[in-house]
Amino acid sequence: ANVLVLQGPNLNLLGSREPGLYGSVTLDDIVSMLDEHAAQLNEDNDELELSLEHFQSNSEAELIERIHNAANDGIVFALFNPAAFTHTSVALRDALLGAALPFIEIHISNVHAREPFRRHSYFSDIASGVISGLGAQGYILALDAAYHWLGRRQG
């Protein structure tokens, strides 16, 4: 199963960006952690083969296009950190609904412990689940959850 790891604006700056909030882990570190974890899941189980695709963009349009192309690329699930677009983007929400792409919403920081404007998400009510505040580990937990979700769906 192909899973898209979709990263929104400013996440390319992870590692140096507000380390008190986001930690010192870089986006490349997260990519490696996830690839290693997917390889481990594939090794430990033979009912489902995961293949990850990683995409980060600072552009709303590029993220929308990537979601539109997901089905053509055989993508069946997404792990999505919409970053600041979480709180602003009806267009990205509509893209996910239009593509009927199931996803888990991920935030590195706890969005509920920050400015009030971060408490509203355009994605949470249409997500399979939401992980917020668990740092980079949240991506690993989301991948485990996606693996189980996809396994159940396959029957």
Give the annotated binding-site residues for substrate.
81, 87, 94, 108-109, 118
Q: Does 57 bind ligand DQA (CB under 6 A)?
A: no
For 80-93, b/e burial (b = at least 16 CB within 10 A) is bbbbebbbebeebb
The 1-40 contact track toward ligand DQA, x by CB under 6 A, reads ---------x------------------------------
Give the β-pairing of 75-81 and 51-56: unpaired
Q: Which amino acid would we find at residue 155?
A: G
Q: Which of residues 88-107 bind ligand DQA (CB under 6 A)?
A: 107
Minimum CB distance to ligand DQA, residue 155 (Å): 33
Q: How many CB atoms lie within 10 A of CB 121?
A: 20
- Can 107 be counted among the known catalytic residues? yes
Catalytic residues: 22, 107
